[in-house]
């Protein structure tokens, strides 16, 4: 293995390219027309244009991706997350073309990708699953019958699903029909498969997931849990490791279930087993993500493992380099605490609606314990074609409290000019009383979202911004900024000139 | 010059003069300096240090940010405010009853028909953006006067989707 095609875009493509370079491998990027100047293209050793913006004509086109890999002399393909990462057909197409797929075998993807099949397999392997059907629902009539048997509320879920797409919560008989059709339509669009099944809806569980790593030598290790309960519409916003709700004894039981789950499908590479953990300590298998995950860095920071480099090594047939645990179910121990905030192009003060625009300026936080994994830089245009994730800000500390303090500090340093982002939301969560106590579950945001967003910013901030606005407006009226700033000519300060320059550049692109 | 500065529904009256500002009657030393090559401004307000990120949105609106916050601010100078008061002109309030697209996207479906009576919370139009379906609901009771879009339409932010009558429906006699 010398050259790897990175079949993705955004921050994960950059992440994979970095891992390739550290492993001494060359990385080939692929891109769509609007991504010509994207960060991943600039990081790569070579880049191949796939086609126009729509994913179906670019990042989801298996034929084009395989051709790009062959044309550029790649031996392997890393799929990242999203897009084709959990399509068994893509893993097979790579294999058929003589390319190494950096991920699990197609059979494992298929078994876990079909959520009803996965539930059957997990039951057989002795892993507890959420009560529900292990077969697909034919129509709303059957959905209603099964929902009644389980008792409302229930969740209708896409069998091919993930990320909350094609999922609907249903409270009563009357809503089944509409929810079923909506879930089916969304699933069809997102995954090309409208199959739906039903699960009992659990009250206020935590979302706890276990990272596993498995190599071709038959070794499977669990790298502890991630707490991902802070979600909005089933999209994770903040993740941490370890979880305040997981004791060493519970971690051992979760890890055993996770390694059993991976073993049941012959898993190889990095994967994640998601569980729901109830307030009384029972846990249920939710699904397995057969790929690297967005939130993998929090695990990397507390376990001292580079998961993407391990994926590459394992794909090349080498043993994993994870030390300190032996044999299936072997346990490693977390060191310190890590938190990740997803910085997305969404406006928290406008119901998290997607925002677009040119990123005019970016100042990235740094200093002790801070990691920034981004897919964007100043000058990039944020469009509606792809996922709104711009970057991930990750903080490590000796304790959870230290990690939160660092995250708060880093969020205050981060400057993004050009479009609203989730940044102020994260800052407020870091000050929220329930979050600070670790009292979170998947309903946290429904409960606390309004309170968090209504929290006042730091004293004096609004007044300072009001003054700044008045001074900027005053300057535009043809005066100088400041009393004795020799460099600032009346009328046009460097600031105005620069902002116009930035504005003009957008028009030229 | 005096400015009326509105952010998050609070209006500050600010006088800018030489090296000082007066905010709601309190006078403070103020010095602002542009940071070359960036859209950043450094503000010393009294002895307090603030690095402010600036983005102009239109003639009188800015998005300003500092210490991780971002606020949209409207600024009006006293003179134009007085002229507007005299001539009765001002920013026109958006016509009531027009439901607009809050973001660019694709119309997945229209859930109402013309003439339909809708209650608060009734789904009107489903717009897909970033692969998620967002249902826009009625914020007041009314009658669907006009439907401006159909399934499959691409809409820009602010595009009119549905017009609801301002008057709630009259009970039939």
Among the partner residues A190, A233, A427, nearest to B68 by beta-carbon distance: A427
How do residues B57-99 score in pLDDT, each as one tens digit?
Answer: 988 999 999 999 999 999 999 988 888 777 765 444 334 578 8
Those residues of chain A that have pLDDT short of 70 are: 324-331, 478-509
Among the partner residues B75, B102, B132, nearest to A473 by beta-carbon distance: B75
Bigger pLDDT: A372 or B163?
A372
Count of CB contacts below 8 A, A vs B? 190
> For residue A367, is it within any domain?
yes
Using pLDDT thresholds of 50, 70 and 90, give the confidence band for residue B136: confident
Cis bond upstream, residue A153 (ω within 30): yes
Residues of B in contact with A413 (CB under 8 A): 68
Q: Are residues A73 and A170 in the same domain?
A: no
The beta-carbon contacts of B53-61 under 8 Å, at least 24 apart in sequence, are B53/A361, B53/A415, B53/A416, B53/A417, B54/A417, B54/A468, B54/A472, B54/A495, B54/A499, B55/A360, B55/A417, B55/A418, B55/A499, B56/A499, B60/A473
A266/A218 Cα distance (integer angstroms): 9
Q: Are residues A235 and A349 in the same domain?
A: no
> For residue A86, is it within any domain?
yes
Give the residue from A200, A215, A241 where a domain finishes: A200
Number of domains in chain A: 5
Residues of A in contact with B108 (CB under 8 A): 185
Whose structure tokens read 């339409």? B153
Are B28 and A462 in contact (CB < 8 Å)? Answer: no
- pLDDT at position B131 is 65
Give the H/E segment covering residue A322. Answer: none
> Is B21 in contact with B75 (CB distance < 8 Å)?
no
Q: What is the DSSP string of A434-481?
A: HHHHT---TTHHHHHHHHHHHS--STTHHHHHHHHHHHHHHHHTT--S
Q: Are residues A330 and A264 in the same domain?
A: yes
Q: Are residues A375 and A345 in the same domain?
A: yes
3-state secondary structure A352-398: CEECCEECCEEECCCCCCEEEEECCCCCCEECCCCCCEEEEEEEEEC
- pLDDT at position B89 is 57
Q: Is the pTM of this model over 0.90?
A: no
How do residues A34-77 score in pLDDT, each as one tens digit?
Answer: 999 999 999 999 999 999 999 999 999 999 999 999 999 999 99
Chain A residue with the nearest C-alpha to that of B23: A467
A103/A116 Cα distance (integer angstroms): 22
Domain with A28, as residue range(s), is 3-102
Q: Are residues A425 and A484 in the same domain?
A: no
How do residues B2-42 score in pLDDT, each as one tens digit?
Answer: 999 999 889 999 999 989 999 989 999 999 999 999 999 99
Q: Are residues A208 and A194 in the same domain?
A: no
How do residues A274-333 score in pLDDT, each as one tens digit?
Answer: 999 999 899 999 999 999 999 999 999 999 999 999 999 999 999 999 876 554 445 688
Q: Are residues A183 and A235 in the same domain?
A: no
- pLDDT at position B15 is 96
> Would you state the structure tokens that stand for residue A427, as one six-digit string?
């800052």
- pLDDT at position A325 is 56
> For residue A260, is it within any domain?
yes
Q: Are residues A263 and A210 in the same domain?
A: yes
Are A350 and B102 in contact (CB < 8 Å)? Answer: yes
> Would you state the structure tokens that stand for residue A436, as one six-digit string?
């600070």
Q: Are residues A364 and A411 in the same domain?
A: yes
Are B54 and A466 in contact (CB < 8 Å)? Answer: no
> For residue A361, is it within any domain?
yes
Q: Are residues A364 and A469 in the same domain?
A: no
Q: Are residues A226 and A312 in the same domain?
A: yes
Residues of A in contact with B32 (CB under 8 A): 468, 471-472, 475, 481-482
- According to CATH, where is 3.30.700.30 located in chain B? 2-87
Assign domain B98-164 to its CATH architecture. Answer: Beta Barrel (2.40)
Using pLDDT thresholds of 50, 70 and 90, give the confidence band for residue B122: confident
Chain B residue with the nearest C-alpha to that of A388: B130
Assign domain B2-87 to its CATH architecture. Answer: 2-Layer Sandwich (3.30)
**What's the ipTM?**
0.83
- According to CATH, where is 2.40.50.100 located in chain B? 98-164
Q: Where are the beta strands (DSSP E) in A215-312?
A: 220-232, 235-241, 269-277, 283-289
The mean per-residue pLDDT over the stretch B130-158 comes to: 82
Q: Are residues A301 and A351 in the same domain?
A: no
Are A469 and B60 in contact (CB < 8 Å)? Answer: no
CATH number of the domain to which A422 belongs:
3.30.470.20
B24/B10 Cα distance (integer angstroms): 12
């Amino acid at each position: 293995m010398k050259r790897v095609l990175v079949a993705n875009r955004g921050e994960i493509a950059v992440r994979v390219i970095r891992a390739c370079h550290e492993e001494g491998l060359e990385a080939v990027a692929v891109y769509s027309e609007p991504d010509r100047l994207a960060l991943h293209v600039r990081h790569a050793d070579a880049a191949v244009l796939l086609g126009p913006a729509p994913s179906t004509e670019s990042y989801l086109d298996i034929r084009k991706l395989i051709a790009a890999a062959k044309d550029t002399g790649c031996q392997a393909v890393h799929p990242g997350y999203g897009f084709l990462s959990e399509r068994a057909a893509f893993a097979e197409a790579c294999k058929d073309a003589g390319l190494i797929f950096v991920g699990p075998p197609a059979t494992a993807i298929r078994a876990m990708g079909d959520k009803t099949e996965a539930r059957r397999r997990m039951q057989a392997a002795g892993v507890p699953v959420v009560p529900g059907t292990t077969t697909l629902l034919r129509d709303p009539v059957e959905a209603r019958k099964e929902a009644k048997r389980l008792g409302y509320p229930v969740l209708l879920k896409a069998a091919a699903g993930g990320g909350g797409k094609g999922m609907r919560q249903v409270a009563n008989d009357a809503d089944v029909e509409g929810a079923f059709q909506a879930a089916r339509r969304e699933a069809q669009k997102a995954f090309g498969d409208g199959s739906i099944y039903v699960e009992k809806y659990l009250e206020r569980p935590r979302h706890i997931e276990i990272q596993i790593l498995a190599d071709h030598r038959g070794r499977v290790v669990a790298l502890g849990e991630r707490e991902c309960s802070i979600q909005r519409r089933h999209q994770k916003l903040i993740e941490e490791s370890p979880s305040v709700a997981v004791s060493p004894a519970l971690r051992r039981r979760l890890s055993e279930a996770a390694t059993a789950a991976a073993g049941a499908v012959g898993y190889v590479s990095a994967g994640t087993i998601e569980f729901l953990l109830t307030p009384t300590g029972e846990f249920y298998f939710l699904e397995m993500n057969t790929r690297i995950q967005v939130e993998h860095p929090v695990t990397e920071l507390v376990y001292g493992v580079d998961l993407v480099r391990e994926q590459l090594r394992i794909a090349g047939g080498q043993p994993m380099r994870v030390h300190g645990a032996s044999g299936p179910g072997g346990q490693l121990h977390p060191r310190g605490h890590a938190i990740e905030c997803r910085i997305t192009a969404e406006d928290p003060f406008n119901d998290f609606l997607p925002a677009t625009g040119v990123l005019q300026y970016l100042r990235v936080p740094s200093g002790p314990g801070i990691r920034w994994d981004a897919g964007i830089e100043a000058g990039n245009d944020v469009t509606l074609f792809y996922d709104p994730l711009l970057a991930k800000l990750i903080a490590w500390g000796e304790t959870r409290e230290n990690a939160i303090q660092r995250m708060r500090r880093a969020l205050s340093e981060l400057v993004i000019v050009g479009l609203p982002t989730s940044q102020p939301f994260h800052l407020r969560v870091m000050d929220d009383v329930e979050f600070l106590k670790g009292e979170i579950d998947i309903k946290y945001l429904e409960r606390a979202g309004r309170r968090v967003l209504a929290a006042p910013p730091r004293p004096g901030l609004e007044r300072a911004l009001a003054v700044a606005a008045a001074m900027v407006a005053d300057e535009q009226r043809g005066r100088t900024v400041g009393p004795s700033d020799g460099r600032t000519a009346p009328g046009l300060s460097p600031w105005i000139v620069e902002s116009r320059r930035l504005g003009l550049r957008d028009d030229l692109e | 010059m005096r400015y009326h500065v509105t952010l998050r529904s609070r209006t500050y009256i600010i006088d800018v003069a030489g090296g000082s500002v007066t905010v709601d009657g309190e006078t403070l030393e103020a010095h602002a300096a542009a940071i070359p090559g960036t859209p950043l401004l450094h503000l010393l307000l009294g002895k307090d240090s603030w690095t402010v990120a600036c983005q102009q949105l239109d003639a009188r609106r800015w998005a300003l940010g500092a210490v991780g916050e971002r606020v949209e601010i409207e600024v009006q100078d006293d003179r134009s405010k007085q002229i507007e008061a005299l001539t009765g002109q001002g920013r026109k309030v958006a016509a009531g009853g027009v439901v607009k697209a809050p973001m660019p996207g694709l119309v997945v479906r229209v859930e109402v028909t013309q003439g339909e009576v809708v209650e608060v919370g009734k789904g009107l139009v489903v717009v897909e953006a970033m692969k998620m379906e967002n249902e826009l609901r009625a914020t007041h009771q009314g009658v669907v006067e006009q439907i401006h879009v159909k399934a499959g339409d691409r809409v820009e932010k602010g595009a009119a989707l549905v017009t609801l009558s301002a008057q709630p429906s009259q009970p039939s006699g």
